[in-house]
Amino acid sequence: MIEKMKIKISSKGIHPNEREQFSGTILNGKEYKIYIVSLEGVIVYVGKTKQTIGDKFRQSILTYQNVQKGKKKVSGYSGYKWVREYLDKGVVLDLSVFLLPGKTNEETEAIEAEVVYLVREKTGRWPEYQNEIHFRNNEEAKRVAEGIYNSMHKGEII
């Protein structure tokens, strides 16, 4: 299952471009999901979460703001280079979210890594704002990642 939408990043948060909030089963499900941020067809970041997308993005903005304020102890992941890059610039990004029912953290992490690797393999470049990946040498993860990548691009190499 996939959900696609446009998003913008401002100091008030990461929000859907044409809706007031993130809604729907895929975005608000409590199962693991892969999310892909892209700009004009180029994948800039691949992530995973079990949180709702709204909660994940709310946490990332708050963490980023706390880092900017110089707070030494911050909760949450502060490595979102793509948030810093597009914050308050009015850029409209594409967000694709793939729900992975029944997958574990390790399986989802492996799928995330395989999607990132496919981007590298197909384009010759890593996603521009990707910080890290964790390979697990999982054959099923490779198969799922290929399905995700293919559904993103429908055969286009970007």
Q: Which amino acid is at 106?
A: E
Residue 15 lies in a domain: yes
Tell me the pLDDT of the chain (158 aa) as tens digits: 889 999 999 888 899 998 778 999 899 989 999 999 999 999 999 999 999 999 998 887 877 777 777 776 555 555 578 888 898 999 999 999 999 999 999 999 999 999 999 999 999 999 999 988 888 888 999 999 999 999 887 644 33
* DSSP E strand stretches across the chain: 2-10, 13-16, 33-39, 42-49, 93-99
Residue 158 lies in a domain: no
Beta partners for 99?
A: 33
Contact present, 15 and 109 (Cβ < 8 Å): no
Between CA 153 and CA 157 the distance in angstroms is: 7
Give how many domains the chain has, as a whole number.
Answer: 1
Residue 40 lies in a domain: yes
Residue 101 lies in a domain: yes
CATH of the domain at 55: 3.40.1440.10
Between CA 105 and CA 122 the distance in angstroms is: 26
Range of the domain at 87: 2-153
